Structure 1
Amino acid sequence: MVGPDNTIYAGSYDGRLYAISPDGTKKWAATTGVIGNSTSAFGAGGTVYVASDNYNLYAIRPAGTQRWTFPTGSDIHSAPAIAADGTVYIGSGDNNLYAVGVAPPRRAIAKVPVTTTPAWPMFHHDRAHTGRSEFSTSANPGILKWTFSTGGSATANPVIAVDGTIYVGSDDYKFYAVRPDGSRKWVSRTSGTVESPAAIGADGTLYFGCNDQRVSPNPFNSNLYAINPDGEQKWVLAMAGGRMDAPVIGADGAILANTNNELYAVNPGGTLKWTFTPSKFTTLSSPAIGTDNTIYLGSSYYYIGARSQSGRLFALHPDGTLSWQFAAPHPLTAPAVGSDGTVVIGSSDDTLYAVKPDGTAKWKFWANDGKSSGFGLSSPAIGDDGTIYVGSGDYNLYAVKPDGTEKWKFPTGNPVLSSPAIGADGTIYVGSGNDRHLYAINPDGTLKWKFTTGVIQAINSSPAIGADGTVYFGSDDGNLYAVGAAAVAQPAP
């Protein structure tokens, strides 16, 4: 960095900021801890501002003496920016943007959380379908912030973009973009129900499924939509085979979307990459992807002649070829993949299976208390400590240890078909059938709070967690709910 008087300033890994005269002689060296990749900036009076890997922002006088230092919560690699009023802005590795006042006492006059990835980019948060957020919900007391009304059941799970925009589909043939304050940003019309959660691409493109008879006259076909963040349609790809489940975006950018009996891999431009079709009539679940890019699919395997059905867990290579399959006696839901590669998946007979990465059984757990008629299990979520959370048709949310033994179960008032979501603080969120409740459950299985919707309609939508800890979920009553730390005035639609 070259100053107004042509002095050259350079940081060094010896922990000093050097000032070099235009003739190459050293003017001074100021000790500032470990200098990383941050570029210096100049303020009024020749003050030099430079950041350090030791978490501090330094203000150095033109003579090389320290004017002041300001600590952040992590190492700093961004360059300071100076406003006209002298305020210094600096980004830190603690995911905050700081605005630092120059007048004593030195303090951050503003600290704004910054994220570079969507808070909840797809069904169950990530490719592995863990349902686990990186954001804490410890300050969320369960207060209604706002509701946003769609024209039909909002059963599709919401997703959340980098800027906090919430996206949700409805069976009113529309896909909605909702601002963090609950006002409508835009709406995209389709000609079919939107029951599929969206997946958000690296460039913000939204991918979701719809039964669109305008493009596909066969009512049993689905279509994959790609929409820009401003609501403009990019492309539509027709897919045979019935209802589409939640798409997932692979590490290579390909969109993995399934219909009832076929998995499609689609390039970001809308061209087909490959397909996987099981040999028998099969209903496939939303795919999950392991750290080695193996693709996992649950399925219902129908034997039409025998009028019977079973389940299969398919493991596919990244190119769509079959690696192995695991057989179960009943249909299977969407899987989740643990950090050790274990695949956990629920069954319609209330059995939770854990399958090793090689396709062999690890353990199974029956999630039914024997008192209620079971309606199958939700898709499981996996906590940071490996605990598996799964909802059951017996009205309970189960917490299962990594070894397959029960940790606890929490009773709700209806079948739990909503897949759980987990905050970074360990709180588990899940909806429950027609009892109208969203439950917040502590990691020890005790109730933290519960939120009640105003209409007796099921909550089958899985919750999504925003960067500020707000929990969003849809309901069969047609509303998208935002539950968070403070209520706000209801915006106009």
Structure 2
Amino acid sequence: MKTVLLFLLFTSLIHSQQQVDIPWQTLANSPWPMIAHDPQITGRSPYSGPKTPTIKWTLDLPYGVYSGPIIGEDGTLYVGTNAYLYFMGDTTNYFYAIDPDNGRIIWTFLTGTPFANESGYLINNEGTIFFGSQSGWLYAIDTKGNLKWKYDTGGNIHQRVMNTDLQGNIYIANSTGYLFSFSKEGRLNWKANYGGGLFPRSVSFSPDGNTIYTTGKGSNLYALNLDGSLKWYLECPGDRRLPLLIDNNGNIIFLAGCTPPWSLTSIDSLGNLNWEYVINNNNANFTESSPAMDYEGNIYYTYVADSAGVVWYSRLESVDYYGNYRWTYQFDQPEEVIVMPLICDKDGTVYCGSTFGYNYYAVSKDGELLWQIPLEGYYVENSTAIASDGTLYIGKCLYSTFTQGVKTLIAIQDTGSTSVSQSSIEASDYSLSQNYPNPFNATTHIKYSIPQSGKVKLTVYNLMGSEVARILDIYQGAGSYDVTFQPKDLASGIYFYTLTSGNFTTTKKLILLK
């Protein structure tokens, strides 16, 4: 009898950690219908992503991609632009449908405001695409790019994840601090404000869809009913903007925003503590990246910590379903930071990119680096999706007024060429080409090659030898590169640009005419 009971107990524990996909009939039946994949914010794809960084295609969306893409039921990609165009003289921003086979734009929707589309997006089971703008407008469009409705919420919409319940209602928060619930037809159901404001917090749903989980400005954790009323809350002082991860058993996993020591915490659906894993570094701190959970119940999360009290490094760490330590992977690039919601594929491979423009990474479920690609100074903020054929889509952007982005949407698959921003032909030596055009009055291109991986600096000096612009200061792999220099505050004149990598340094002259 004891043997049988022990076997049943062991079997129960094994099954409790296994995760399955929770059906959600109000979402599109697609590989990636929303940011972070599902209403429980697991970041988990049911498909295998690329294990090599080979390129299917790239697309130049000059205004950059902050969030998305999401994927429709037919595989079409949907994504919005990042740039704030008011100072550029443009009166609208853009949202696109893109062919997944070749990266071509199918249609373009004009938002009618110059403000960036930075919120998370989702597509529902009726094919309606929802996205928010920093203008405060919430948009609903169909899969042909036609406006169904829009609603002015009165404040900037800038949250990582937009979500939907099992009744099809849409949930967003804006800069007024309110959490809004809208019907799918655009009717305001209610708005609520707790804990000094819920902006720019995202909401997660319990597996049965009856409870909303979110955090407040003071980082207290709130459980709400579907009418916006309070079920319970958990006090945890600190400033955490992270979406909450919900497992199949309704447990809530989050990075606690309390005072050090920092911890990854699991609580049950009533707010009772399951376990707490304390980060073993007194100088650790969490970024805005939300955790992911694979099908085995393993949890992945990132944080930054110093090395011997000198240099900050970003770390990807994993614990099992019960909070037991598994492994830590430390990124090589100093001062690396990951803020995008982590995602993982069916095999437990974790994908994430730098918010400082260094690299995009794939790390195995055992903590081994599979590959990395240079981002050439571009940021990955709230982007990555995995399609049913295993293609990984990555959006990149620069600062909000940058309008000359190249290769800002990338499709990576286990077939194709060898890298994203790197030439398929390896560079045999260091070289720096003359900028073109030269002279120039607004924008010029600078090409260079490096034969081995290393830190690359591209710096501009005036005639007095003073640094006036830092074009690049990043780690890059061997290859040939083409960067754009767009000086805004420099006067007409002669300048020098210098490439430094390893022990190699060379300088050329450029002429700016305004």
Structure 2 length-normalised TM? 0.65
The whole-number CA distance in structure 1 between the counterparts of 2:329 and 2:153 is 40
Identify the residue that residue 382 of structure 2 maps to in structure 1.
461
Superposed CA deviations along residues 63-105 of structure 1, whole A, max 9, x for unmatched, are: xxxxxxxxxxxxxxxxxxxxxxxxxxxxxxxxxxxxxxxxxxx
The whole-number CA distance in structure 2 between the counterparts of 1:483 and 1:145 is 6
Is 1:402 the counterpart of 2:321? The answer is yes
**In the alignment, is the contact (CA less than 8 A) between 1:263 and 1:276 conserved in 2?**
yes
Identify the residue that residue 483 of structure 1 maps to in structure 2.
412
Show the 5 A alignment for 1:199-348. Answer: 199-212=122-135, 222-245=136-159, 246-260=161-175, 261-278=177-194, 280-301=196-217, 310-332=218-240, 333-348=242-257
Relative to 1, partners in 2 of residues 1:282 and 1:254: Cα closer, same or farther, differing over 3 Å?
Answer: closer
**In the alignment, is the contact (CA less than 8 A) between 2:178 and 2:197 conserved in 1?**
no
Corresponding letter in the other structure for 1:257: I
The whole-number CA distance in structure 1 between the counterparts of 2:184 and 2:417 is 38
Cα RMSD over matched residues? Answer: 2.3
Identify the residue that residue 179 of structure 1 maps to in structure 2.
99
The whole-number CA distance in structure 1 between the counterparts of 2:43 and 2:207 is 16
1:351 Cα deviation (Å)? Answer: 3.3
Identify the residue that residue 425 of structure 1 maps to in structure 2.
347
SS of the residue 1:434 aligns to? coil
Superposed CA deviations along residues 458-486 of structure 1, whole A, max 9, x for unmatched, are: 22233210111011111124401111122
Superposed CA deviations along residues 329-367 of structure 1, whole A, max 9, x for unmatched, are: 212211110111111122456532222110122233344
Show the 5 A alignment for 1:31-50. Answer: none
Structure 1 spans left out of the alignment, 5+ residues? 1-115, 213-221, 302-309
Superposed CA deviations along residues 146-165 of structure 1, whole A, max 9, x for unmatched, are: 22222323121321111111
Deviates more, 1:225-234 or 1:281-290: 281-290
Instruction: Specify which of 25, 40, 55 is matched with residue 128 of structure 1.
Output: 40
The whole-number CA distance in structure 2 between the counterparts of 1:383 and 1:198 is 22
**In the alignment, is the contact (CA less than 8 A) between 1:390 and 1:419 conserved in 2?**
no
**In the alignment, is the contact (CA less than 8 A) between 1:351 and 1:377 conserved in 2?**
no
**In the alignment, is the contact (CA less than 8 A) between 1:368 and 1:392 conserved in 2?**
no
1:167 Cα deviation (Å)? Answer: 1.3
Identify the residue that residue 15 of structure 1 maps to in structure 2.
none
Superposed CA deviations along residues 234-272 of structure 1, whole A, max 9, x for unmatched, are: 110111343342311211111112223111111111111
Identity score, percent: 28
Relative to 1, partners in 2 of residues 1:488 and 1:268: Cα closer, same or farther, differing over 3 Å?
Answer: farther
**In the alignment, is the contact (CA less than 8 A) between 1:431 and 1:461 conserved in 2?**
no
Relative to 1, partners in 2 of residues 1:119 and 1:416: Cα closer, same or farther, differing over 3 Å?
Answer: same
Structure 2 spans left out of the alignment, 5+ residues? 1-27, 84-92, 306-313, 399-404, 421-514
SS of the residue 2:199 aligns to? strand
The whole-number CA distance in structure 1 between the counterparts of 2:303 and 2:277 is 12
Superposed CA deviations along residues 436-459 of structure 1, whole A, max 9, x for unmatched, are: 322111111111222223x21222
Identify the residue that residue 440 of structure 1 maps to in structure 2.
362
The whole-number CA distance in structure 2 between the counterparts of 1:457 and 1:329 is 33
Corresponding letter in the other structure for 2:323: G
**In the alignment, is the contact (CA less than 8 A) between 2:134 and 2:155 conserved in 1?**
no
SS of the residue 2:382 aligns to? coil
Deviates more, 1:393-402 or 1:122-131: 393-402
1:193 Cα deviation (Å)? Answer: 0.7
Relative to 1, partners in 2 of residues 1:367 and 1:235: Cα closer, same or farther, differing over 3 Å?
Answer: farther
- The number of aligned residues is 355
SS of the residue 1:135 aligns to? coil
1:300 Cα deviation (Å)? Answer: 4.2
Superposed CA deviations along residues 381-401 of structure 1, whole A, max 9, x for unmatched, are: 111111111122330111122
Superposed CA deviations along residues 35-81 of structure 1, whole A, max 9, x for unmatched, are: xxxxxxxxxxxxxxxxxxxxxxxxxxxxxxxxxxxxxxxxxxxxxxx
**In the alignment, is the contact (CA less than 8 A) between 1:140 and 1:470 conserved in 2?**
no
Relative to 1, partners in 2 of residues 1:235 and 1:368: Cα closer, same or farther, differing over 3 Å?
Answer: farther
Corresponding letter in the other structure for 1:186: W
**In the alignment, is the contact (CA less than 8 A) between 1:155 and 1:474 conserved in 2?**
yes
1:211 Cα deviation (Å)? Answer: 2.3
Corresponding letter in the other structure for 1:431: G
Greater gyration radius: 1
The whole-number CA distance in structure 2 between the counterparts of 1:469 and 1:378 is 23
Corresponding letter in the other structure for 1:278: Y
**In the alignment, is the contact (CA less than 8 A) between 2:286 and 2:302 conserved in 1?**
no
The whole-number CA distance in structure 2 between the counterparts of 1:134 and 1:189 is 33
The whole-number CA distance in structure 2 between the counterparts of 1:329 and 1:391 is 20
SS of the residue 2:356 aligns to? helix
The whole-number CA distance in structure 2 between the counterparts of 1:187 and 1:348 is 40
Identify the residue that residue 32 of structure 1 maps to in structure 2.
none
Show the 5 A alignment for 1:12-51. Answer: none
Deviates more, 1:342-351 or 1:185-194: 342-351
Relative to 1, partners in 2 of residues 1:205 and 1:488: Cα closer, same or farther, differing over 3 Å?
Answer: farther
Higher relative contact order (CA 8 A, sep 6+): 2
Show the 5 A alignment for 1:75-86. Answer: none
**In the alignment, is the contact (CA less than 8 A) between 1:296 and 1:313 conserved in 2?**
no
**In the alignment, is the contact (CA less than 8 A) between 1:298 and 1:345 conserved in 2?**
no
The whole-number CA distance in structure 1 between the counterparts of 2:230 and 2:338 is 32
The whole-number CA distance in structure 2 between the counterparts of 1:199 and 1:154 is 15
Corresponding letter in the other structure for 2:206: G
Superposed CA deviations along residues 304-350 of structure 1, whole A, max 9, x for unmatched, are: xxxxxx31111111222111111112122111101111111224565
**In the alignment, is the contact (CA less than 8 A) between 2:30 and 2:73 conserved in 1?**
yes
Show the 5 A alignment for 1:188-203. Answer: 188-190=109-111, 191=113, 192-203=115-126
The whole-number CA distance in structure 2 between the counterparts of 1:118 and 1:379 is 22
Relative to 1, partners in 2 of residues 1:237 and 1:377: Cα closer, same or farther, differing over 3 Å?
Answer: closer
**In the alignment, is the contact (CA less than 8 A) between 2:204 and 2:214 conserved in 1?**
no
Corresponding letter in the other structure for 2:174: T
Structure 1 length-normalised TM? 0.68
